[in-house]
Amino acid sequence: MRQLPAHSLIYLADQGHAPYGQRPLAEIRDFAGGITRFLLAQGSQVIVVACNTASAAALHWLRREFPDVPFVGMEPAVKPAVERSRTHHVGVIATAATFQGELFASLLERYASDVIVHTQVCPELVPLVEAGELDTPRTRAAVEDYLAPLTAAGIDELVLGCTHYPFLRPLIEVALGPDVDVIDPAPAVARQTARVLAQRGWLDGEGARPLGAPRPRRSVCFYTTGDPARFGVALHRLLGLEAPVCAAAWAPDGQLRQIAK
């Protein structure tokens, strides 16, 4: 939203199936396909797979399944972590499915030949963020337990391999101490989305309206397969947004449909 202030945004939170991290990869691919069809039906031009788990499980498949649709995926920022590391020990925290996907294996093969990458699965963190427990004793204890093996291994770079984890960054930085840098790949993903739009001639609606015509008014639409009221509270708590949230539901045929207000 900050990177592309003139562009409309359609966001689908599949809270009915969250968390994805422990689900089979084939099931996640099915969810990703249904979500993509839903977003395209709403008029989306570019699909951002704003989930490391879904990107690991489905990004290559989505690009084959929808060859005319530009996708921007998430991947753990192993390359910048390796480039910055002084100790040659890098940590990555993510879900089990992210580490099992071919994207992560490819990242290690391409960039991590000269460093040791220490991985840590953190199954409790996504449910804690979803529940709004951003700074509770339970959350602090979970963060400290997950990070202890990584600090003991001597990492000096930690990659946040899940889009929920930046909301816990203050706790993570305290647990790591001042000698470990934390890398959040989200800003790079926003910049890549802008580049993709520019390459297609869609940036700021260029090429989509007659010369001199007024710019279309931006809209932001939020959908959830969970409880819209609960998601609205999360939007306010996490992002400071006050916005209506619409309900979407999975049909027996695996398709997503908006529920009438």
Mapped onto helix, strand or coil, the DSSP state of residue 22 is coil
What is d(CA 83, CA 87) in angstroms, rounded to the nearest whole number? 11
List active site positions.
51, 162
Residue 210 clears pLDDT 80, i.e. is over it: no
- Average pLDDT over every residue of 146-161: 97
Closest by CA to 56, choosing from 96, 98, 110, is 98
- CA distances to 19, 30, 149, 172, 175 from 144, rounded to whole Å, are 21, 34, 9, 8, 6
User: Which domains are assigned to the chain?
Assistant: 9-74+187-258 (3.40.50.1860), 78-184 (3.40.50.1860)
**pLDDT 10s digits, 100-136:** 878 898 999 999 999 999 999 999 999 999 888 999 9
pLDDT digit string, tens, across residues 41-56 = 999 999 999 999 999 9
